[in-house]
Amino acid sequence: MQVIGHRGAAALAPENTWAGFDRALEVGVDAIETDVRATSDGQLVLIHDARLDRTTDGQGLVQDAPWSVVQSLDAGTWFDPRFAGARVPRLDETLKRYGSRVPLVLEIKQPGVELSALEMVDRLGLLAQVAFTSFDFAAVHRIKAHWPATKVGFLTSDIGLSNVQRVIAAGMDQFCPPADALTPASVAEWRALGLEVRAWKVRDLNLMERAILAGVDGMTVDFPHLLLKALGRA
């Protein structure tokens, strides 16, 4: 099972920061997941929310702020004062720093930036190291259509057959349902259809155990150290 640090290691360090990514590497994750948006001047940055307010000392929409403003924001103090000075990373700098060290999962949070992200990954020679996901079907469909060899997954709460079938028809590689929707039978069915199954919304240890017992291929977790322990790998 692939242990994927959610936004780095979000229970251990500020999400979507290099401090969080470094912590994820320290505990031994198999991959790191992070979120991609764009600033007003088109810089691709790693931040989950549409707004700056929750995880930085800035305010307003990410897409309305230029990189000159975003790069100066404190993205660590909200989590713990010892992380004061952590910054919102740019995607290109993060790919250069981590891309050859650990597989990355880029979640497209802002539809419309997906091909720019794909082209950046390609330019740096990291397509084999990077997977793409999104809750926006059109975004991941465009990535798959543009570069079929790219690993792509669809994040969704809809586990109905018609939704699974459109994922297969689009040639996607992963079906990504929430942990609370999983059963061993459903995971076996999706895998028999040729899909990898990666769980998200693993909010607590009970849901983590449910995903393990269901037989998923991987999951994103805020507490990767606990999943590694449960798997006998720590």
Residue located via tokens 């018609």:
162
Q: Which of 12, 68, 75 is nearest to 47 (CA)?
A: 75
Contact 200, 219 (CB under 8 A): yes
Contact 44, 90 (CB under 8 A): yes
User: Cα dihedral sign for 72, 29, 159, 136?
Assistant: positive
Phi, psi of 152, rounded to the nearest 5 degrees: -135, 140
User: What is the C-alpha separation between 212 and 34, in angstroms, rounded?
Assistant: 22
Residues noted as catalytic:
6, 48
Q: What is the DSSP string of 78-118?
A: TT-GGGTT--PPBHHHHHHHHTTTS-EEEEE-STT-HHHHH
Which two tokens mark 45?
A: 């940055």
